[in-house]
Structure 1
Protein backbone atom coordinates (compact mmCIF):
# COMPACT_ATOMS: atom_id res chain seq x y z
CA UNK A 1 0.00 0.00 0.00
CA UNK A 2 1.34 3.42 -0.97
CA UNK A 3 1.29 5.95 1.87
CA UNK A 4 0.03 9.45 1.02
CA UNK A 5 2.65 12.13 0.61
CA UNK A 6 3.52 14.07 3.77
CA UNK A 7 1.53 17.23 4.33
CA UNK A 8 4.76 18.93 5.34
CA UNK A 9 8.41 17.87 5.17
CA UNK A 10 10.88 20.69 5.85
CA UNK A 11 13.52 21.93 8.26
CA UNK A 12 13.65 18.68 10.22
CA UNK A 13 9.89 18.22 10.61
CA UNK A 14 7.59 15.84 8.75
CA UNK A 15 3.80 15.82 9.13
CA UNK A 16 1.78 12.83 7.97
CA UNK A 17 -1.93 12.19 8.46
CA UNK A 18 -3.95 9.00 8.22
CA UNK A 19 -7.61 9.78 8.84
CA UNK A 20 -7.95 10.68 12.55
CA UNK A 21 -4.26 10.28 13.42
CA UNK A 22 -1.43 12.64 12.50
CA UNK A 23 2.25 11.98 13.12
CA UNK A 24 4.80 14.75 13.57
CA UNK A 25 8.32 13.38 13.22
CA UNK A 26 11.63 15.12 13.91
CA UNK A 27 13.81 13.98 11.02
CA UNK A 28 17.43 14.80 11.80
CA UNK A 29 18.63 11.65 13.58
CA UNK A 30 22.29 12.21 12.68
CA UNK A 31 22.25 15.25 14.98
CA UNK A 32 19.90 13.65 17.53
CA UNK A 33 17.03 15.84 16.29
CA UNK A 34 18.46 19.07 17.67
CA UNK A 35 16.16 22.05 17.39
CA UNK A 36 16.47 25.45 15.74
CA UNK A 37 14.25 28.45 14.95
CA UNK A 38 13.60 26.99 11.49
CA UNK A 39 12.43 23.72 13.06
CA UNK A 40 10.17 25.65 15.45
CA UNK A 41 8.58 27.50 12.54
CA UNK A 42 8.05 24.16 10.79
CA UNK A 43 6.38 22.75 13.93
CA UNK A 44 4.06 25.76 14.04
CA UNK A 45 3.27 25.24 10.37
CA UNK A 46 2.52 21.57 11.07
CA UNK A 47 -0.05 22.59 13.65
CA UNK A 48 -1.74 24.91 11.18
CA UNK A 49 -1.72 22.23 8.47
CA UNK A 50 -3.57 19.59 10.50
CA UNK A 51 -6.62 18.28 8.62
CA UNK A 52 -9.88 18.82 10.46
CA UNK A 53 -10.48 15.09 10.82
CA UNK A 54 -7.38 14.64 13.01
CA UNK A 55 -8.15 13.74 16.61
CA UNK A 56 -4.77 12.47 17.85
CA UNK A 57 -1.29 13.79 17.09
CA UNK A 58 1.74 11.60 17.79
CA UNK A 59 5.08 13.40 18.16
CA UNK A 60 8.20 11.29 17.69
CA UNK A 61 11.86 11.54 16.72
CA UNK A 62 13.74 9.43 14.22
CA UNK A 63 16.78 7.51 15.38
CA UNK A 64 18.07 6.88 18.87
CA UNK A 65 16.98 10.18 20.43
CA UNK A 66 13.70 12.04 20.64
CA UNK A 67 15.50 15.39 20.65
CA UNK A 68 18.79 16.46 22.20
CA UNK A 69 17.54 20.03 22.56
CA UNK A 70 18.65 23.30 21.06
CA UNK A 71 21.41 23.28 18.46
CA UNK A 72 24.29 25.08 20.19
CA UNK A 73 25.04 26.89 16.92
CA UNK A 74 22.35 29.33 18.03
CA UNK A 75 24.82 30.75 20.54
CA UNK A 76 27.68 31.27 18.10
CA UNK A 77 28.26 34.73 16.61
CA UNK A 78 27.27 33.52 13.15
CA UNK A 79 24.15 31.65 14.28
CA UNK A 80 22.23 29.89 11.51
CA UNK A 81 22.17 30.92 7.86
CA UNK A 82 19.54 33.58 7.35
CA UNK A 83 18.75 33.82 11.05
CA UNK A 84 19.81 36.33 13.71
CA UNK A 85 22.00 34.62 16.26
CA UNK A 86 20.77 34.50 19.82
CA UNK A 87 23.60 36.86 20.69
CA UNK A 88 22.26 39.40 18.18
CA UNK A 89 18.76 39.01 19.60
CA UNK A 90 20.11 39.67 23.10
CA UNK A 91 21.70 42.91 21.93
CA UNK A 92 18.53 44.10 20.23
CA UNK A 93 15.28 45.73 21.22
CA UNK A 94 13.36 44.28 24.18
CA UNK A 95 10.10 44.14 22.25
CA UNK A 96 11.71 42.30 19.37
CA UNK A 97 13.32 39.80 21.74
CA UNK A 98 10.00 39.18 23.50
CA UNK A 99 8.11 38.78 20.20
CA UNK A 100 10.75 36.40 18.87
CA UNK A 101 10.58 34.13 21.92
CA UNK A 102 6.77 34.21 21.71
CA UNK A 103 7.04 33.04 18.09
CA UNK A 104 9.28 30.17 19.17
CA UNK A 105 6.76 29.19 21.85
CA UNK A 106 4.01 28.87 19.23
CA UNK A 107 5.72 25.69 18.03
CA UNK A 108 4.85 24.04 21.34
CA UNK A 109 1.50 25.52 22.42
CA UNK A 110 -0.64 24.18 19.57
CA UNK A 111 -0.19 20.64 20.90
CA UNK A 112 -2.46 21.64 23.79
CA UNK A 113 -5.40 22.55 21.56
CA UNK A 114 -8.67 21.25 23.05
CA UNK A 115 -9.79 19.67 19.76
CA UNK A 116 -6.86 17.20 19.62
CA UNK A 117 -5.06 14.84 21.96
CA UNK A 118 -1.27 14.81 21.64
CA UNK A 119 1.01 11.91 22.50
CA UNK A 120 4.81 12.06 22.69
CA UNK A 121 6.58 8.77 21.94
CA UNK A 122 9.96 9.38 23.55
CA UNK A 123 13.17 7.40 23.31
CA UNK A 124 16.75 8.22 24.20
CA UNK A 125 17.64 11.82 24.92
CA UNK A 126 14.90 14.39 25.49
CA UNK A 127 16.96 17.33 26.67
CA UNK A 128 16.05 20.99 27.11
CA UNK A 129 13.83 21.91 24.18
CA UNK A 130 13.32 18.19 23.58
CA UNK A 131 12.06 17.73 27.14
CA UNK A 132 9.77 20.73 26.70
CA UNK A 133 8.39 19.35 23.43
CA UNK A 134 7.48 16.11 25.21
CA UNK A 135 5.92 18.14 28.04
CA UNK A 136 3.82 20.07 25.52
CA UNK A 137 1.97 16.87 24.68
CA UNK A 138 -1.00 15.68 26.70
CA UNK A 139 0.46 12.22 27.22
CA UNK A 140 3.92 10.63 27.13
CA UNK A 141 4.91 7.05 26.31
CA UNK A 142 8.61 6.52 27.03
CA UNK A 143 11.14 3.85 26.19
CA UNK A 144 13.24 2.34 28.94
CA UNK A 145 16.31 4.17 27.58
CA UNK A 146 14.75 7.63 27.92
CA UNK A 147 16.80 10.42 29.48
CA UNK A 148 14.88 13.60 30.28
CA UNK A 149 16.92 16.62 31.33
CA UNK A 150 16.19 20.34 31.66
CA UNK A 151 19.62 21.84 31.00
CA UNK A 152 18.72 25.49 30.46
CA UNK A 153 19.38 26.69 34.01
CA UNK A 154 22.77 24.97 34.05
CA UNK A 155 23.65 27.03 30.97
CA UNK A 156 22.60 30.32 32.55
CA UNK A 157 19.17 30.33 30.89
CA UNK A 158 15.63 29.33 31.84
CA UNK A 159 13.23 26.87 30.23
CA UNK A 160 11.16 29.21 28.04
CA UNK A 161 9.41 26.94 25.53
CA UNK A 162 6.29 26.47 27.69
CA UNK A 163 7.65 23.50 29.63
CA UNK A 164 7.59 24.94 33.15
CA UNK A 165 3.81 24.94 33.58
CA UNK A 166 3.23 21.26 32.70
CA UNK A 167 6.34 20.21 34.61
CA UNK A 168 5.08 21.74 37.87
CA UNK A 169 1.55 20.49 37.20
CA UNK A 170 2.78 16.93 36.71
CA UNK A 171 5.32 16.54 39.51
CA UNK A 172 4.98 19.52 41.84
CA UNK A 173 7.03 22.64 42.48
CA UNK A 174 9.82 21.20 44.63
CA UNK A 175 10.70 18.31 42.34
CA UNK A 176 10.38 20.50 39.23
CA UNK A 177 12.73 23.08 40.75
CA UNK A 178 15.29 20.43 41.65
CA UNK A 179 15.20 18.90 38.15
CA UNK A 180 15.55 22.29 36.45
CA UNK A 181 18.29 23.70 38.67
CA UNK A 182 20.45 20.56 38.76
CA UNK A 183 19.92 19.64 35.12
CA UNK A 184 20.14 15.97 36.08
CA UNK A 185 18.77 13.11 34.05
CA UNK A 186 15.35 11.64 34.78
CA UNK A 187 15.23 8.03 33.61
CA UNK A 188 12.26 5.89 32.62
CA UNK A 189 11.46 4.39 36.01
CA UNK A 190 11.40 7.79 37.74
CA UNK A 191 9.46 9.35 34.88
CA UNK A 192 6.71 6.74 35.18
CA UNK A 193 6.71 6.82 38.99
CA UNK A 194 6.55 10.62 39.22
CA UNK A 195 3.89 11.13 36.56
CA UNK A 196 6.13 12.59 33.86
CA UNK A 197 5.34 9.52 31.75
CA UNK A 198 2.05 7.70 31.45
CA UNK A 199 3.88 4.45 30.79
CA UNK A 200 7.46 3.22 30.31
CA UNK A 201 8.12 0.23 28.07
CA UNK A 202 11.07 -1.56 26.47
CA UNK A 203 12.38 0.43 23.50
CA UNK A 204 11.29 -2.33 21.12
CA UNK A 205 7.69 -1.89 22.31
CA UNK A 206 7.50 1.91 22.05
CA UNK A 207 5.75 2.09 18.68
CA UNK A 208 3.28 -0.71 19.43
CA UNK A 209 2.40 0.72 22.84
CA UNK A 210 1.86 4.15 21.30
CA UNK A 211 -0.43 2.65 18.66
CA UNK A 212 -2.45 0.86 21.34
CA UNK A 213 -2.83 4.09 23.32
CA UNK A 214 -3.91 6.00 20.23
CA UNK A 215 -6.54 3.37 19.47
CA UNK A 216 -7.88 3.66 23.02
CA UNK A 217 -8.00 7.46 22.77
CA UNK A 218 -10.03 7.23 19.57
CA UNK A 219 -12.63 4.92 21.10
CA UNK A 220 -14.58 7.67 22.89
CA UNK A 221 -16.80 10.12 20.95
CA UNK A 222 -14.82 13.16 19.79
CA UNK A 223 -17.05 15.85 21.29
CA UNK A 224 -17.00 14.18 24.71
CA UNK A 225 -13.20 14.02 24.56
CA UNK A 226 -12.97 17.70 23.64
CA UNK A 227 -15.23 18.73 26.51
CA UNK A 228 -13.36 16.51 28.97
CA UNK A 229 -9.96 17.85 27.94
CA UNK A 230 -11.18 21.43 28.30
CA UNK A 231 -12.56 20.67 31.76
CA UNK A 232 -9.32 19.14 32.96
CA UNK A 233 -7.15 21.86 31.42
CA UNK A 234 -9.10 24.51 33.30
CA UNK A 235 -8.93 22.90 36.75
CA UNK A 236 -5.88 24.77 38.05
CA UNK A 237 -7.39 28.15 37.19
CA UNK A 238 -10.76 27.51 38.81
CA UNK A 239 -12.13 27.16 42.30
CA UNK A 240 -14.16 24.07 43.14
CA UNK A 241 -17.39 25.99 42.66
CA UNK A 242 -16.19 27.35 39.33
CA UNK A 243 -15.24 23.84 38.25
CA UNK A 244 -18.67 22.54 39.28
CA UNK A 245 -20.24 25.25 37.11
CA UNK A 246 -18.01 24.33 34.17
CA UNK A 247 -18.91 20.64 34.58
CA UNK A 248 -22.63 21.41 34.57
CA UNK A 249 -22.34 23.54 31.45
CA UNK A 250 -20.29 20.91 29.64
CA UNK A 251 -22.66 18.12 30.61
CA UNK A 252 -25.63 20.19 29.51
CA UNK A 253 -24.06 20.58 26.07
CA UNK A 254 -23.39 16.85 25.86
CA UNK A 255 -26.92 15.89 26.92
CA UNK A 256 -28.50 18.28 24.43
CA UNK A 257 -26.25 16.95 21.69
CA UNK A 258 -27.06 13.32 22.50
CA UNK A 259 -30.74 14.20 22.50
CA UNK A 260 -30.40 15.76 19.06
CA UNK A 261 -30.95 19.27 20.40
CA UNK A 262 -27.46 20.65 19.81
CA UNK A 263 -26.76 23.63 17.58
Structure 2
Protein backbone atom coordinates (compact mmCIF):
# COMPACT_ATOMS: atom_id res chain seq x y z
CA UNK A 1 0.00 0.00 0.00
CA UNK A 2 3.01 2.32 0.22
CA UNK A 3 2.63 5.34 -2.03
CA UNK A 4 -1.08 4.78 -2.65
CA UNK A 5 -3.52 7.54 -1.66
CA UNK A 6 -5.13 7.06 1.74
CA UNK A 7 -8.25 8.95 0.63
CA UNK A 8 -9.90 8.52 -2.76
CA UNK A 9 -12.11 11.27 -4.18
CA UNK A 10 -14.63 10.93 -6.99
CA UNK A 11 -17.13 13.50 -8.34
CA UNK A 12 -20.25 12.62 -10.31
CA UNK A 13 -23.35 14.70 -10.95
CA UNK A 14 -22.72 17.13 -8.11
CA UNK A 15 -21.97 14.28 -5.68
CA UNK A 16 -18.50 13.97 -4.18
CA UNK A 17 -17.49 10.61 -2.73
CA UNK A 18 -14.67 10.31 -0.21
CA UNK A 19 -13.32 6.78 0.24
CA UNK A 20 -11.17 5.95 3.26
CA UNK A 21 -8.53 3.85 1.52
CA UNK A 22 -6.58 1.73 4.00
CA UNK A 23 -8.37 -1.60 3.52
CA UNK A 24 -5.35 -3.54 4.83
CA UNK A 25 -6.03 -1.82 8.18
CA UNK A 26 -9.83 -1.86 7.81
CA UNK A 27 -9.54 1.85 7.03
CA UNK A 28 -8.21 2.73 10.48
CA UNK A 29 -7.44 6.42 10.78
CA UNK A 30 -3.75 7.21 11.08
CA UNK A 31 -2.23 10.71 11.06
CA UNK A 32 -1.95 10.77 7.27
CA UNK A 33 -5.58 9.79 6.73
CA UNK A 34 -6.84 12.25 9.35
CA UNK A 35 -5.00 15.06 7.58
CA UNK A 36 -6.19 13.94 4.13
CA UNK A 37 -9.77 13.83 5.39
CA UNK A 38 -9.46 17.28 6.95
CA UNK A 39 -8.18 18.77 3.68
CA UNK A 40 -10.87 17.00 1.65
CA UNK A 41 -13.66 18.34 3.86
CA UNK A 42 -12.26 21.88 3.62
CA UNK A 43 -12.17 21.55 -0.17
CA UNK A 44 -15.71 20.16 -0.34
CA UNK A 45 -17.09 22.94 1.83
CA UNK A 46 -15.56 25.57 -0.45
CA UNK A 47 -16.65 23.97 -3.73
CA UNK A 48 -20.12 25.16 -4.77
CA UNK A 49 -20.33 22.45 -7.43
CA UNK A 50 -20.57 19.83 -4.67
CA UNK A 51 -24.25 19.39 -3.85
CA UNK A 52 -23.98 16.19 -1.74
CA UNK A 53 -21.14 14.21 -0.18
CA UNK A 54 -20.70 10.49 0.48
CA UNK A 55 -18.25 9.12 3.04
CA UNK A 56 -17.41 5.42 2.79
CA UNK A 57 -14.57 2.94 3.19
CA UNK A 58 -12.63 0.73 0.81
CA UNK A 59 -12.86 -3.05 1.04
CA UNK A 60 -15.03 -4.77 3.63
CA UNK A 61 -14.98 -2.08 6.33
CA UNK A 62 -16.19 1.46 6.81
CA UNK A 63 -13.65 2.44 9.45
CA UNK A 64 -12.24 0.49 12.40
CA UNK A 65 -11.43 3.64 14.36
CA UNK A 66 -8.17 5.36 15.10
CA UNK A 67 -5.07 3.42 14.16
CA UNK A 68 -3.08 2.67 17.29
CA UNK A 69 0.60 3.53 16.66
CA UNK A 70 3.19 0.82 17.09
CA UNK A 71 5.27 3.20 19.19
CA UNK A 72 3.84 5.77 21.62
CA UNK A 73 3.65 9.26 20.16
CA UNK A 74 5.73 11.99 21.75
CA UNK A 75 3.17 14.66 20.82
CA UNK A 76 0.93 16.02 23.57
CA UNK A 77 -2.53 14.37 23.43
CA UNK A 78 -4.19 17.78 23.08
CA UNK A 79 -2.22 18.39 19.89
CA UNK A 80 -3.17 14.97 18.54
CA UNK A 81 -6.83 15.61 19.36
CA UNK A 82 -6.86 18.95 17.53
CA UNK A 83 -7.06 17.30 14.11
CA UNK A 84 -9.84 14.97 15.26
CA UNK A 85 -11.77 17.98 16.55
CA UNK A 86 -11.27 19.90 13.30
CA UNK A 87 -12.41 16.95 11.17
CA UNK A 88 -15.50 16.41 13.32
CA UNK A 89 -16.57 20.06 13.14
CA UNK A 90 -15.88 20.25 9.41
CA UNK A 91 -18.03 17.19 8.76
CA UNK A 92 -20.95 18.39 10.92
CA UNK A 93 -20.85 21.92 9.47
CA UNK A 94 -20.56 21.13 5.76
CA UNK A 95 -23.30 23.08 3.97
CA UNK A 96 -24.30 20.19 1.71
CA UNK A 97 -26.11 17.01 2.83
CA UNK A 98 -23.77 14.16 3.73
CA UNK A 99 -24.33 10.41 3.54
CA UNK A 100 -22.31 7.66 5.21
CA UNK A 101 -22.30 4.37 3.29
CA UNK A 102 -21.35 1.68 5.81
CA UNK A 103 -20.48 -1.64 4.17
CA UNK A 104 -18.66 -3.22 7.09
CA UNK A 105 -17.52 -2.41 10.61
CA UNK A 106 -17.82 1.14 11.94
CA UNK A 107 -16.00 1.29 15.25
CA UNK A 108 -15.01 4.03 17.67
CA UNK A 109 -14.07 7.23 15.87
CA UNK A 110 -15.13 5.52 12.65
CA UNK A 111 -18.68 5.06 13.88
CA UNK A 112 -18.82 8.62 15.15
CA UNK A 113 -17.73 9.89 11.73
CA UNK A 114 -20.63 7.95 10.23
CA UNK A 115 -22.99 9.41 12.82
CA UNK A 116 -21.64 12.85 11.92
CA UNK A 117 -23.17 12.46 8.46
CA UNK A 118 -26.76 13.56 7.92
CA UNK A 119 -27.92 10.16 6.66
CA UNK A 120 -26.48 6.67 7.16
CA UNK A 121 -26.96 3.76 4.76
CA UNK A 122 -25.76 0.38 6.02
CA UNK A 123 -25.69 -3.16 4.69
CA UNK A 124 -27.13 -5.95 6.88
CA UNK A 125 -23.60 -7.22 7.59
CA UNK A 126 -22.48 -3.90 9.13
CA UNK A 127 -21.47 -3.85 12.79
CA UNK A 128 -21.10 -0.89 15.12
CA UNK A 129 -19.32 -0.29 18.42
CA UNK A 130 -18.32 2.57 20.69
CA UNK A 131 -15.21 0.57 21.47
CA UNK A 132 -13.44 3.27 23.47
CA UNK A 133 -13.96 1.75 26.95
CA UNK A 134 -12.20 -1.42 25.81
CA UNK A 135 -9.20 0.75 24.98
CA UNK A 136 -9.24 2.62 28.28
CA UNK A 137 -10.60 5.74 26.58
CA UNK A 138 -13.72 7.90 26.39
CA UNK A 139 -15.66 8.51 23.17
CA UNK A 140 -14.42 11.25 20.87
CA UNK A 141 -15.28 12.69 17.44
CA UNK A 142 -18.55 13.99 18.86
CA UNK A 143 -19.85 10.67 20.17
CA UNK A 144 -20.84 12.03 23.58
CA UNK A 145 -22.77 14.86 21.89
CA UNK A 146 -24.63 12.99 19.17
CA UNK A 147 -25.44 9.64 20.82
CA UNK A 148 -27.76 11.03 23.54
CA UNK A 149 -29.55 13.09 20.89
CA UNK A 150 -30.20 10.03 18.78
CA UNK A 151 -30.96 7.31 21.30
CA UNK A 152 -31.52 9.07 24.64
CA UNK A 153 -29.21 9.27 27.63
CA UNK A 154 -29.59 5.75 29.02
CA UNK A 155 -29.02 3.96 25.72
CA UNK A 156 -26.08 6.26 25.00
CA UNK A 157 -24.58 5.26 28.35
CA UNK A 158 -25.15 1.59 27.55
CA UNK A 159 -23.34 1.89 24.20
CA UNK A 160 -20.48 3.95 25.62
CA UNK A 161 -19.95 2.29 28.99
CA UNK A 162 -20.31 -1.34 27.90
CA UNK A 163 -18.75 -0.85 24.45
CA UNK A 164 -21.08 -3.48 23.03
CA UNK A 165 -21.17 -4.34 19.34
CA UNK A 166 -24.58 -4.00 17.72
CA UNK A 167 -25.75 -5.16 14.31
CA UNK A 168 -27.38 -3.15 11.53
CA UNK A 169 -30.86 -4.23 12.56
CA UNK A 170 -30.55 -2.85 16.07
CA UNK A 171 -28.83 0.28 14.77
CA UNK A 172 -31.80 0.86 12.47
CA UNK A 173 -34.35 0.27 15.22
CA UNK A 174 -32.61 2.81 17.46
CA UNK A 175 -32.30 5.49 14.79
CA UNK A 176 -28.54 5.11 14.42
CA UNK A 177 -28.78 4.34 10.72
CA UNK A 178 -31.35 5.65 8.25
CA UNK A 179 -31.68 2.62 5.97
CA UNK A 180 -30.42 -0.96 5.83
CA UNK A 181 -29.98 -2.09 2.22
CA UNK A 182 -28.72 -5.39 0.80
CA UNK A 183 -25.07 -5.29 -0.18
CA UNK A 184 -25.93 -6.01 -3.81
CA UNK A 185 -28.16 -2.93 -3.91
CA UNK A 186 -26.37 -0.47 -1.65
CA UNK A 187 -24.40 1.35 -4.36
CA UNK A 188 -27.46 1.95 -6.53
CA UNK A 189 -29.51 2.96 -3.49
CA UNK A 190 -26.84 5.44 -2.39
CA UNK A 191 -26.61 6.85 -5.91
CA UNK A 192 -30.37 7.40 -5.97
CA UNK A 193 -30.47 9.13 -2.58
CA UNK A 194 -27.53 11.40 -3.34
CA UNK A 195 -28.84 12.26 -6.81
CA UNK A 196 -32.08 13.42 -5.20
CA UNK A 197 -30.15 15.46 -2.65
CA UNK A 198 -27.92 16.99 -5.34
CA UNK A 199 -31.00 18.00 -7.33
CA UNK A 200 -32.47 19.85 -4.35
CA UNK A 201 -32.27 23.59 -3.63
CA UNK A 202 -28.72 23.97 -2.26
CA UNK A 203 -29.25 27.11 -0.18
CA UNK A 204 -32.47 25.86 1.37
CA UNK A 205 -31.00 22.42 2.14
CA UNK A 206 -27.92 23.99 3.71
CA UNK A 207 -30.09 26.11 5.99
CA UNK A 208 -32.43 23.24 6.82
CA UNK A 209 -29.45 21.11 7.84
CA UNK A 210 -28.02 23.90 10.00
CA UNK A 211 -31.38 24.62 11.65
CA UNK A 212 -31.95 20.96 12.52
CA UNK A 213 -28.46 20.66 13.97
CA UNK A 214 -28.69 23.89 15.94
CA UNK A 215 -32.24 23.60 17.23
CA UNK A 216 -31.72 20.42 19.23
CA UNK A 217 -30.66 22.58 22.18
CA UNK A 218 -32.53 25.82 21.49
CA UNK A 219 -35.82 27.08 22.82
CA UNK A 220 -38.85 27.17 20.53
CA UNK A 221 -38.59 30.96 20.37
CA UNK A 222 -34.96 30.75 19.24
CA UNK A 223 -35.78 28.04 16.72
CA UNK A 224 -38.62 30.09 15.21
CA UNK A 225 -36.37 33.13 14.88
CA UNK A 226 -33.75 31.04 13.10
CA UNK A 227 -36.37 29.59 10.75
CA UNK A 228 -37.60 33.07 9.87
CA UNK A 229 -34.08 34.22 9.01
CA UNK A 230 -33.55 31.13 6.86
CA UNK A 231 -36.76 31.68 4.92
CA UNK A 232 -35.81 35.28 4.23
CA UNK A 233 -32.62 34.03 2.61
CA UNK A 234 -34.48 31.30 0.70
CA UNK A 235 -36.94 33.77 -0.78
CA UNK A 236 -33.99 35.82 -2.03
CA UNK A 237 -32.81 32.96 -4.27
CA UNK A 238 -34.18 31.89 -7.64
CA UNK A 239 -35.12 28.48 -6.24
CA UNK A 240 -38.44 29.41 -4.59
CA UNK A 241 -39.98 30.96 -7.73
CA UNK A 242 -38.51 28.11 -9.79
CA UNK A 243 -40.29 25.61 -7.55
CA UNK A 244 -43.62 27.42 -8.02
CA UNK A 245 -43.10 27.60 -11.78
CA UNK A 246 -42.19 23.92 -12.01
CA UNK A 247 -45.30 22.97 -10.04
CA UNK A 248 -47.53 25.06 -12.31
CA UNK A 249 -45.87 23.67 -15.43
CA UNK A 250 -45.95 20.06 -14.14
CA UNK A 251 -42.19 19.51 -14.48
CA UNK A 252 -39.22 18.85 -12.22
CA UNK A 253 -37.70 21.96 -10.67
CA UNK A 254 -34.16 22.95 -11.67
CA UNK A 255 -32.55 24.32 -8.51
CA UNK A 256 -29.38 26.43 -8.68
CA UNK A 257 -29.19 28.37 -5.41
CA UNK A 258 -28.67 31.55 -7.44
CA UNK A 259 -29.10 34.85 -5.60
CA UNK A 260 -32.04 36.63 -7.20
CA UNK A 261 -32.18 39.99 -5.42
CA UNK A 262 -31.69 42.84 -7.94
CA UNK A 263 -28.25 44.42 -7.81
CA UNK A 264 -28.24 47.92 -6.39
CA UNK A 265 -27.22 50.65 -8.83
CA UNK A 266 -26.12 54.26 -8.37
CA UNK A 267 -29.64 55.36 -9.32
CA UNK A 268 -30.95 53.55 -6.26
CA UNK A 269 -28.72 55.51 -3.90
Say whether the fold is shared (TM-score over 0.5): yes
C-alpha contact (below 8 Å) 2:168/2:180 kept by paired residues:
yes
Structure of larger gyration radius: 2
1:66 — aligned with what? 62
| Offset at residue 231 of structure 1 (A) | 1.2
Q: TM-score, normalised by structure 1?
A: 0.84
C-alpha contact (below 8 Å) 2:51/2:97 kept by paired residues: yes
- Give unpaired runs (5+ residues) of structure 1: 1-8, 80-84
Residue number in structure 1 paired with 2:261: 261
Residue of structure 1 aligned with 2:112, choices 132, 136, 161: 132
Question: CA 1:256–1:70 in structure 2 vs 1: closer, same or farther (change >3 Å)?
Answer: closer
Alignment of 1:47-196 (within 5 A): 47-50=41-44, 51-72=47-68, 74=69, 76=70, 78-79=71-72, 85=73, 88-89=74-75, 92=76, 97-196=77-176
Relative to 1, partners in 2 of residues 1:11 and 1:98: Cα closer, same or farther, differing over 3 Å? farther
* In structure 2, distance between residues paired with 1:20 and 1:119: 14
CA distance in structure 2 between the partners assigned to 1:129 and 1:11 by the alignment: 20
Which residue matches 1:225?
A: 205
Distance 1:262 1:34 in 2: 50
- Of 20, 31, 36, the residue aligned with 2:14 is 20
Q: CA separation of 1:29/1:227 partners in 2, compared to 1, >3 Å: closer, same or farther?
A: same
Alpha-carbon distance between aligned partners in 1 of 2:67 and 2:144, rounded to the nearest angstrom: 20
Contact 2:13 2:195 in 1 (8 A): no
Distance 1:100 1:30, change over 3 A: closer
Runs (4+) of structure 1 exceeding 6 A deviation are: none
Q: 2:27 aligns with which of 33, 57, 63?
A: 33
Q: With the length of structure 2 as denominator, give the TM-score of the two structures.
A: 0.82
Alignment of 1:46 onto 2:46: no
Q: 1:98 to 1:11 in 2, by over 3 A?
A: farther
Unaligned runs of 5+ in 2: 242-259, 264-269
Deviation at 1:262, TM superposition (A): 6.9
Distance 1:262 1:26, change over 3 A: farther
Secondary structure, counterpart of 1:14 in structure 2: strand
Distance 1:60 1:102 in 2: 23
